[in-house]
Amino acid sequence: MRNGILVVNKPKGLTSHDVVNSVRKALKMRRIGHAGTLDPLATGVLVILVGECTKLFDRFLTFDKEYVATLTLGSRTTTGDSDGQVVEQRDYCGVTEEKVLGVLSAFRGELMQVPPMVSAVRHEGQRLYVLARQGKEVERKPRRVHIKELRLERFNLPDIQFYLKCSRGTYVRQLAEDIARELNCIGFVSQIERRGIGPFSIHDAIDLTEVDEAKVVPFAEAIHTQGG
């Protein structure tokens, strides 16, 4: 049995657990986990832990994460992304590239962020997303996060594509909704790609169809190879 890490490029439409199950079948072993959930909408870097490396989950909690995401203005959805139902629409004609640049600069650095109802944060023992599916909304305490880099990648209304490098616990969809609010508008995330987790980059990721035992890299070697 190999012990180590696989860096997988998660396709859109699959849950992180779906990817884990696929790797289990490919490697013919049960002791498989992942080091950070991606929503079904999201694509990109999903670090898969194999064998004894499943014990190393906590090592990944301190790693920064990198994303490229698209905020689509003019509509608000139940989930904050394109998988949800549209519940409100509003004009966005007053939004300019100059305004977007100003708003993005205001979000850089440390800030307090309220977790979205569709997150995995627990409230009285239950995951928020479970409560959200029941149509419930509860008060959430804001959490301190660090936005280390935030820049505009593409401005093509209604879409605003941005690059984000952030600390653990940062919710991209919530950040996108907060950006839309500061633009005096509403919006949702229509695309998310995770470009990196710590030293692990999208350029090192393999497709699910390429998973085999020979691709499993020992943790120490993986960290060294990726420059961590």
In contact, 74 and 227? CB cutoff 8 Å: no
**What residues contact residue 98 under an 8 Å CB cut-off, 6+ apart?**
none
Q: How far apart are CA 73 and CA 89, in angstroms?
A: 9
In contact, 77 and 176? CB cutoff 8 Å: no
In contact, 47 and 65? CB cutoff 8 Å: no
Q: Active site includes 39?
A: yes
- CA atoms lying within 13 Å on the CB side of residue 155: 10
The two three-digit tokens of residue 45, written as one number:
């870097």
Name the catalytic one among 39, 83, 91, 212.
39
Kindly list the catalytic residues.
39
